[in-house]
């Protein structure tokens, strides 16, 4: 009936939390496939997956895969090669689902058949987070306030049920050129729009997002905001033979957003207003539209490089053989 896909990259605790929440779904009695893709070159999740296999309910067919080429598109494409059902629910390894999640997604799909059914994402911030709390709570959440039914907007794959029988085209489904920046599902959703496919919302199927401490900072979220601002232009450049007009259109919007939200941010900053981060976020999204060619990378090989750099011990101090200048 349904397959559940969870890609994972260096998050053993998050993986355990996400998979355990799937084990407790009310639909577990009906049985389903659960596909975990370890996306680290060294298969670092193997011990965690082995532990989870020992506690897996008998009605769940747990399939563990290894995709050594780091990148979320690579991981999801590898999972799709093992999928045997049209319906695939995606959950990230920094999320967890209440026990009614999968049943609620499926119920919404049955009532409003769509190519993709999205659900809300609610954030649990790390303990002790105080600065810009409301902004971070909003940034990592997905709460547009829709009622269950058809919608015009598409969101990310985390907490989504995709009916691949309604998706035009063929595998690979996820864009490997976006492995390091995110947005690997944008082309997939654009295919659906272009063929008048439908999106739906399942208001009763939320999941929890558990952002790590390292991501709950303006340094991280503003880089993401910059990348989100670039997204419309990035998609136009990939899909249009003559994207110049579209690029100019979005750059003009970027000018407006940068000036307007930047001015409000400056004013609120002078007042030390607690909502100033929201305006800074929007201004940075505008800058992303202006600097659409700047390449920011977060995942895949870029994440591996960052991990390697952070794990290299500092060089031993060397003795100076010359005369130091004061």
Alpha-carbon distance of 74 to 77, in angstroms, equals 5
Ordered alpha helix ranges (H), the chain: 12-23, 46-55, 72-82, 101-111, 133-139, 186-194, 218-239, 244-270, 276-290, 300-311
- Give helix 12-23 / helix 46-55 axis angle, nearest 10°: 20
CATH superfamily for domain 2-215: Spore Coat Polysaccharide Biosynthesis Protein SpsA; Chain A (3.90.550.10)
Give the pLDDT of the chain (326 residues) as one tens digit per residue: 899 999 999 999 999 999 999 999 999 999 999 999 999 999 999 999 999 999 999 999 999 999 999 899 999 999 999 999 999 999 999 999 999 999 999 999 999 999 999 999 999 999 887 889 999 999 999 999 999 999 999 999 999 999 999 999 888 999 888 877 777 888 899 899 999 999 999 999 999 999 999 899 999 999 999 999 998 998 888 766 777 889 999 999 999 999 999 999 999 999 999 999 999 999 999 999 999 999 887 655 555 665 555 554 444 433 332 332 32
Please, how many CA atoms are within 13 Å of residue 25, restricted to the half-sphere of its CB? Answer: 30
The answer to whether 113 and 183 are in contact (CB under 8 A) is no
């Amino acid at each position: 009936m349904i397959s559940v896909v969870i890609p994972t990259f260096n998050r053993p605790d998050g993986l355990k939390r996400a998979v355990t929440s799937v084990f407790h779904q009310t639909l577990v009695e009906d049985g389903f496939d659960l596909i975990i893709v370890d996306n680290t070159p060294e298969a670092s999740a193997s011990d965690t997956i082995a532990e989870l296999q020992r506690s897996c309910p008998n009605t769940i067919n747990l399939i563990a895969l290894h995709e050594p080429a780091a990148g979320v598109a690579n991981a999801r494409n590898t999972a799709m090669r093992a999928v045997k059902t049209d319906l695939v629910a995606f959950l990230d390894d920094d999320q967890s689902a209440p026990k009614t999640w999968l049943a609620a997604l499926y119920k919404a799909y049955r009532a409003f058949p769509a190519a993709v059914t999205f659900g809300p994402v609610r954030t649990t911030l790390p303990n002790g987070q105080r600065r810009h709390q409301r902004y971070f709570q909003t940034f990592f959440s997905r709460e547009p306030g829709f009622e269950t039914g058809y919608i015009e907007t598409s969101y990310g794959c985390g907490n989504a049920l995709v009916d691949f029988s309604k998706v035009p085209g063929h595998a690979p489904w996820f864009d490997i050129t976006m492995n390091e920046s995110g947005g690997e599902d944008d082309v997939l959703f654009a295919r659906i729009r272009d063929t008048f496919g439908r999106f739906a919302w399942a208001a009763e199927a939320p999941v929890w997002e558990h952002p790590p401490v390292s991501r709950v900072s303006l340094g991280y979220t503003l880089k993401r905001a910059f990348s989100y601002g670039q997204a419309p232009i990035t998609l136009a450049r990939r899909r249009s033979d003559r994207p110049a007009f579209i690029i100019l259109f979005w750059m003009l919007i970027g000018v407006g957003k940068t000036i307007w939200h930047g001015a409000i941010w400056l004013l609120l900053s002078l007042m030390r207003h607690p909502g100033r981060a929201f305006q800074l976020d929007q201004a940075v999204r505008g800058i992303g539209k202006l600097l659409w060619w700047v390449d920011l990378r977060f995942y895949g090989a870029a994440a591996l490089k960052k991990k390697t750099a952070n794990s290299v011990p500092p060089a031993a101090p060397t003795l100076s053989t010359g005369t130091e200048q004061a």
